[in-house]
Homo-oligomer: A and B are copies of this chain.
């Protein structure tokens, strides 16, 4: 079976127990995650082979992070060990009207200092069915942007489906190049793009036509006109009623039809981090195993809803569990 390949930074995540604040906690829980690796790990839990490609420092923390993903069955054999430090982030978990908060400490990480030539993409991608990247990677450093570009170009040449989550975070772009200059080159090689109207406006200057009945459709149409390889644009709509209570659905435009998933009510939220990544993993899984984009989209959103009930950065739900939610069973009835 061919594997999905993802590429990006993995960080050590440190969070106080329960809802303790960063300023008061005497202990941290440790786990590991990153937007792209979360997609890979969520896929292996669904039963689909996946490999993640990254760069770690050659120390105990790089080893611990490798082992964490190996544990969940992610193929980590292409990890490059070079550099000095593992990026990390601190997560404070909110409740009710108090937001969760992420404090990053990721600058100058081993990943930021990777060398593009260390990655032999021909070799890495030779058994791949799909390649996934996000807009975080090109934001980290010129080297990371270059490696990402190399991967996309190679994947395209090998005929592999490519998806990109543009995920624009303004304050990450600090190494001297502009997202607006870098991102178009990366999107050019993609089949599937995850983007909201805001992302599109900020990155590509695309604004929904005045008077368009659906802003998303209007945006997606312009995006597809600009980047002709793109066949599907998707995103989630999240209603944030509180830090503990969200509603979530997904939408998709393929150039012809607008598709919408059911909306799921999530209360209480156990761990919101990686919700978007679980959506993408579910959508990739659905796309590769069915030929029905409505099914793929709903599978993605149901995956994401379940992720919110699971501790850690990625979705430990199985295919059977997601199917149950897709079927409409959200009763949470005790299983014996």
A-side residues, CB < 8 A to B, are 14, 18-31, 59-61, 63-64, 67-68, 70-73, 84-86, 88, 90, 92, 94-105, 107-108, 169, 240-245, 264-270, 272, 305-306, 308-312, 316-317, 321, 325, 329-336
Contacts and interface: CB of A to CB of B under 8 A. Distances in A.
B335 A101 contact: yes
A332 B240 contact: yes
Contacts of A26: 26, 29-31
Protomer copies:
6
A99 B64 contact: no
Contacts of A20: 311
A333 B336 CA distance: 35
Contact of A306 (B98, B102, B107, B169): B98
A226 B136 CA distance: 55
Contact of A22 (B64, B95, B333): B64
14 contacts: A21-B310, A22-B61, A25-B30, A27-B29, A70-B71, A84-B107, A85-B105, A88-B105, A97-B309, A102-B336, A107-B108, A240-B333, A245-B267, A272-B334
A325 B30 contact: no
A304 B144 CA distance: 43
Contacts of A19: 270, 309-311
Most buried by B among A23, A107, A267: A23
Contacts of A265: 96
A105 B86 contact: yes
Contacts of A101: 60, 334-336
B60 A22 contact: yes
Nearest to A329: B97
A7 to B, nearest CB: 21
Contacts of A107: 84-85, 108
A23 B67 contact: yes
A177 to B, nearest CB: 19
A71 to B, nearest CB: 3
User: For A29, A102, A242, A305, which residue has the most chain B Cβ atoms within 10 angstroms?
Assistant: A242
Contacts of A59: 103
Given A64-B23, A108-B107, A99 B332 contact: yes
A169 B335 CA distance: 12
Contacts of A67: 23, 71-73
A325 B316 CA distance: 34
A299 B14 CA distance: 32
Contacts of A68: 71
Given A72-B67, A240-B331, A241-B331, A60 B29 contact: no
A64 B28 CA distance: 13
